[in-house]
Structure 1
Amino acid sequence: MSYQLYFTATSCGAASYISAKKAGLIGDKVVPNLVDIREHKVKSGALKDTDYYKVNPKGNVPTLVLEDGTVLNENAAVLQKIADLAPSGALAPANGTNARYLLQSKLSYISSEVHSSYGPLFNPALSDEVKKWTLAKIATKLDYLNRVELAGKKYIVGDSFTVADAYLYIVLSWSKYVGVDLSEYPEVERYFKGISELDFVKEAHAEMNKF
């Protein structure tokens, strides 16, 4: 049996596709299914035209449906499961190691601090006052990443690409859509450009855009 991945090409769900691509899982092991998150419809795959809430009652992406029917619908869990499906892919340190807990720490920070800061800017009804406050909040996160997490680093954890890089890269990619200038944070901009130029990242984007 295979694992069913539900994603969109520009949301944080794209990080799961990129990770599965890096691990060589796309196809028989991980089957990608495109979702229209506005209409909450499955747009490809065996459940095409199905109400997405029937797959994931929360309606968010990514969702990974496991072989036994278990539904994972939070990015940090989905990414780690994908990593564990292909240990040779080195997308996450081994379970139980300090390095694995460090990865979990980074994933949690990206989710609770960086991702959550960008989210409100996609609301077209956001007032100017709230938008200004939100941009200021993002600035503090980017400043921290610039000074601490990414300073002089190619990857956010260790010396190789992990699922945390996939997640952070996708969140940072939203900057161009919401008016955040990464050039003010040279270490962040360098990191983002480096990840974007990886061959498997470019290949994953090309594949996702074909759905």
Structure 2
Amino acid sequence: MKLYYSPGACSMASHVVLNEIGKPFEIEKVDTKTKVMESGRDYWAINPKGAVPALDIGGGEVLTEGPAILQYIADTNGATELAPPAGTLDRARVQEMLNYVGSELHKAFSPLFHPGKTDAEKDALREGVAKKFAWLESRLADGRTYLTGANFTVADAYAFVVTNWSHMTGISLAAWPKLTAYMERVAARPAVQATLKAEGLI
């Protein structure tokens, strides 16, 4: 498998899960502004959507969209802790969290990366992110280790990466101590540390 990524982008979640699996894989960095890959090739030829991640699974097949890639990696490697079996409530809970991170938290952050926003507009957008963080804080209020319970799942990989964008957008996590502790727990995982190092983020 080969993962096309951009450092610190949502593709980092797929990178983390590949490292959690521990099987060999390749990576290639993509400049998401120019759509040119490290090799100099045109990324549009890999993913006509132009976004990362994309996962080349061989046989001429390229999978796109982070949540689909995350589940595919776990499922094809029998990693039922990362993605519980289909048809179970545990799997539905992981998918529920994947959808929340993708449709709510990720989308709340996205405008903060667009140029041309006024300070007032940015403050309003940060307030929107804060509401999403407050909900995540409530999920962790019962003392659970990860977002869906005791096990680290693909949803945690995605949530960690997106929540980590707070550092780039001027949002302090100080108001959410349980979320802060959660981020520290996830960051300490060997697979996360390996990913951060490979992407040049530490």
Q: CA deviation at 1:178?
A: 0.4
Who is 1:160 aligned against?
A: 151
Count of paired positions: 200
Who is 2:36 aligned against?
A: 41
Who is 2:22 aligned against?
A: 24
Who is 2:6 aligned against?
A: 8
Q: CA deviation at 1:71?
A: 2.8
TM-score for both structures, normalised by structure 1: 0.89
* Aligned amino acid, residue 42 of structure 1: M
Describe the SS at the equivalent of 1:21.
helix
* Aligned amino acid, residue 193 of structure 1: E
Q: 2:21, 2:37 → 1: CA distance? A: 24
Which stretch of the first structure deviates more once superposed, 123-132 or 109-118? 123-132
Moved over 3 A (4+): none
Tell me, which stretches of 5 or more residues in structure 2 are unaligned?
Answer: none
2:123 maps to 1:115: no
Q: CA deviation at 1:89?
A: 6.4
Q: CA deviation at 1:4?
A: 2.1
Q: CA deviation at 1:93?
A: 0.3
Instruction: Report the identity percentage.
Output: 34
Who is 1:106 aligned against?
A: 97
Q: 2:118, 2:107 → 1: CA distance? A: 17
Q: 1:82, 1:9 → 2: CA distance? A: 19
Compare relative contact order (CA 8 Å, sep 6+) and give the higher one, 1 or 2.
2
> Which of the residues 171, 180, 183 maps onto 1:189?
180
Tell me, which stretches of 5 or more residues in structure 1 are unaligned?
Answer: none
Residue by residue, what CA displacement relative to the aligned partner does 1:101-133 show, whole Å, maximum 9, x if unpaired? 111111000000011111111112112232122
TM-score for both structures, normalised by structure 2: 0.93
Who is 1:80 aligned against?
A: 71
Residue by residue, what CA displacement relative to the aligned partner does 1:63-88 show, whole Å, maximum 9, x if unpaired? 11232333322111011111112214
Q: Is the 8 A contact 2:17 2:191 kept in 1?
A: no
* Aligned amino acid, residue 154 of structure 2: V
